[in-house]
Structure 1
Amino acid sequence: MKAPTPVRSATTPAAPILELRKLNAGYGPVKVLHDLDLVVNAGEIVALLGANGAGKSTLLRTLFGRPRPTSGQILFEGQPIEGMPAHAVAKRGIAHAPEGRRIMPKMTVLENLQIGGHLIDPTHFAADVDKVFALFPRLAERRKQRAGTMSGGEQQMLAIGRALMQRPKLLLLDEPSLGLAPLIIRQIFDAIRDINVREGITVLLVEQNVVQALGIADRGYVLQTGRVVHAGTASDLLAMPEVRGAYLEGAIAS
């Protein structure tokens, strides 16, 4: 499959919104992240790539303190957040749409969105719901439907919409295309680009579909056993023989 040319030119905004410095984390005696350095600049889409088990999802969870870093720094807007409880991190302006969606299946679409907006001034709720419904019209059609009865693609739209209800400055997306049909994947990635371009929300994207991820990203990092092994602009990564051989010509990152 031919890799698309990235739709956005790589730029370097004035200041990073997220910085990881020599970050180490794991689960009990198992160390997963090793002296990891990573920067996400405000306004960017940054793709986080790598094989299954490379530590991508662990990195996102570590931002919320689960697991807690064993050493190193996590800076958000220049301020340390490592060790903060998850709700305090969310209040700072980071939202997470986790792998597997994890919506509330017995609640309606609207009730799930209410949960997403519980940290925000309730006077914004109606306007924020309207934005989510404009981004994902299918959710508007199913606003009173129980979330667990919807298709996988609709549930993924809801997971992203619920995260957006937090009015985040930084949106973490973990495998948003997992298990979805190609047409729905294109719709999801179009929505991610719109979130970034129209709403000005910075995105850190973990994704198994490397072609799609680098097609909308400004930059990317490739992880291997919890370490950064490649980093660069999306176009640079697409041109690297190591990346093409591992992820674009047979192997699938996850």
Structure 2
Amino acid sequence: MLAVENLHASYGAVQVLHGIDLEVRQGEIVTLLGANGAGKSTLLKTIFGAPAVKAGSIAFCGKPLKGLLSHHVADLGIAHSPEGRRIMPKMTVLENLQIGAFLSDPKHFQDDLKKVFRLFPRLEERSWQRAGTMSGGEQQMLAIGRALMQRPRLLLLDEPSLGLAPLVIRLIFDAIQKINQEDGITVLLVEQNAAMALSIADRGYVLQTGRVVHAGDAEVLASQPEIRNAYLEGMTAP
């Protein structure tokens, strides 16, 4: 579904990605692991064209993404729930979800809204509340729900567990599995909680200073001593 080949990207004169090769197959959950500054978030942003591809290629279902504007990438069926949530704090929960549905056919809106509310009942309870007054966990639910209102085929999730309590993290990751298994949405997940990410993923890639240093099935990665020592020691799935 997603094919990244020899990808190079930079912010001005600072090169961040150095020849990334990665693939995401339809129906999978694939996780990107790595320390802060490894290039994980930059890779997701490059899929949407900012920063631009400096060299190499990105293709979605065989269509090259290089040079496309962000809204054209979204039109193809890719949605991005960014790090830090980036909700509209002064708008209500419902208004944020309406923004997510902007590119979708209006005839699907009510059905899609019901799906999001079934996935995250708290959002229905808070539908008329200003998003900025909700807890961090509720805002993360909203960020994911807003992306789902786009009806994506591929969902990019950037650090969905960041700053959340263990119980909320478990709820968020259960929702990710439901999105994948029940709705058939393919997921590319950036996550620093490596234990949690590998527990739900099919495959994973480990980035280090903008390069892929490990790749393979999630269970295999979780069992490798160098991965355990670097990313899993002292960390368990909630």
- Using structure 2 for the length normalisation, give the TM-score: 0.98
AA of the residue aligned to 1:243: I
Q: Gaps (5+ residues) in structure 2?
A: none
* 2:53 is aligned with 1:50: no
* 2:214 is aligned with 1:230: yes
Find the aligned partners of 1:142 and 1:48 in 2 and give their Cα distance. Answer: 32
Q: 2:124 aligns with which of 127, 132, 140?
A: 140
Please give the residue correspondences for 1:1-254 in structure 2 after superposition, counting only pairs within 5 Å.
17-250=1-234
AA of the residue aligned to 1:185: I
Find the aligned partners of 2:28 and 2:68 in 1 and give their Cα distance. Answer: 24
AA of the residue aligned to 2:189: L
Contact 2:195 2:235 in 1 (8 A): no
Contact 2:97 2:145 in 1 (8 A): yes
AA of the residue aligned to 1:133: F
The verdict on how the C-alpha distance between 1:51 and 1:164 changes in structure 2, with shifts beyond 3 A counting, is: same
What SS does the corresponding residue of 1:53 show, helix, strand or coil?
A: coil
Find the aligned partners of 2:154 and 2:174 in 1 and give their Cα distance. Answer: 18
Find the aligned partners of 1:98 and 1:141 in 2 and give their Cα distance. Answer: 24
Q: Gaps (5+ residues) in structure 1?
A: 1-16
What SS does the corresponding residue of 1:102 show, helix, strand or coil?
A: coil
AA of the residue aligned to 1:228: V
AA of the residue aligned to 2:41: S
Find the aligned partners of 1:229 and 1:251 in 2 and give their Cα distance. Answer: 21
| Consecutive aligned runs of 4 or more in structure 1 exceeding 6 Å deviation | none
Find the aligned partners of 1:195 and 1:136 in 2 and give their Cα distance. Answer: 11
Please report how far the alpha carbon of residue 201 of structure 1 lies from its aligned counterpart in structure 2 after TM superposition.
0.1
Find the aligned partners of 2:106 and 2:171 in 1 and give their Cα distance. Answer: 29
Partner of residue 12, structure 1 = none
Find the aligned partners of 1:72 and 1:126 in 2 and give their Cα distance. Answer: 40
What SS does the corresponding residue of 2:220 show, helix, strand or coil?
A: helix
Please report how far the alpha carbon of residue 83 of structure 1 lies from its aligned counterpart in structure 2 after TM superposition.
1.1
AA of the residue aligned to 2:215: A
- Identity, % of aligned pairs? 71
Please report how far the alpha carbon of residue 183 of structure 1 lies from its aligned counterpart in structure 2 after TM superposition.
0.3
Please report how far the alpha carbon of residue 79 of structure 1 lies from its aligned counterpart in structure 2 after TM superposition.
1.1
AA of the residue aligned to 2:137: G
RMSD of aligned alpha carbons? 1.0
Please report how far the alpha carbon of residue 249 of structure 1 lies from its aligned counterpart in structure 2 after TM superposition.
1.3
Please report how far the alpha carbon of residue 82 of structure 1 lies from its aligned counterpart in structure 2 after TM superposition.
1.2
Please report how far the alpha carbon of residue 250 of structure 1 lies from its aligned counterpart in structure 2 after TM superposition.
4.9
